[in-house]
């Protein structure tokens, strides 16, 4: 498994745009396919997706592999990922 944290400097661009910018957390298979995903917004809203909850009215677990070269600078430890996952 690999773990990533990435700031998104843009808002959602939909009816929930007022949530603000977000930080995205990913747990992926070694291939880059997400197994867990969390989005934490400036207003405090957190969205979490995994195999038990693939989607809801706000979004869903990514079904495409992350570009591991593009995400290499955003890799974090499993412990950091789990800390944030368990906080929300």
* CB within 8 Å of 59: residues ≥ 6 apart: 39, 47, 49
The tens digit of pLDDT for each residue in 70-85 reads 999 999 999 999 999 9
**Domain positions in the chain:** 2-11+20-87
First to last CA, the chain: 21
- Give the sign of the dihedral formed by CA 24, CA 27, CA 30, CA 34: negative
DSSP count for the chain of H helices, then E strands: 2, 6
State the pTM of this model.
Answer: 0.93
The tens digit of pLDDT for each residue in 7-59 reads 999 999 999 999 999 999 999 999 999 999 999 999 999 999 999 999 999 99
């Amino acid at each position: 498994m690999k773990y990533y944290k990435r700031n998104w400097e843009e808002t959602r661009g939909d009816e929930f745009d007022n949530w603000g910018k977000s930080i995205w957390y990913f747990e992926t298979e070694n291939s880059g396919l997400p197994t867990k995903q969390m989005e934490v917004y400036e207003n405090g809203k957190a969205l979490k997706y995994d195999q038990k909850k693939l989607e809801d009215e706000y979004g869903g677990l990514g079904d495409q592999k992350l570009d591991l070269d593009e995400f290499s600078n955003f890799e974090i430890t499993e412990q950091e990922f789990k800390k944030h996952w368990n906080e929300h």
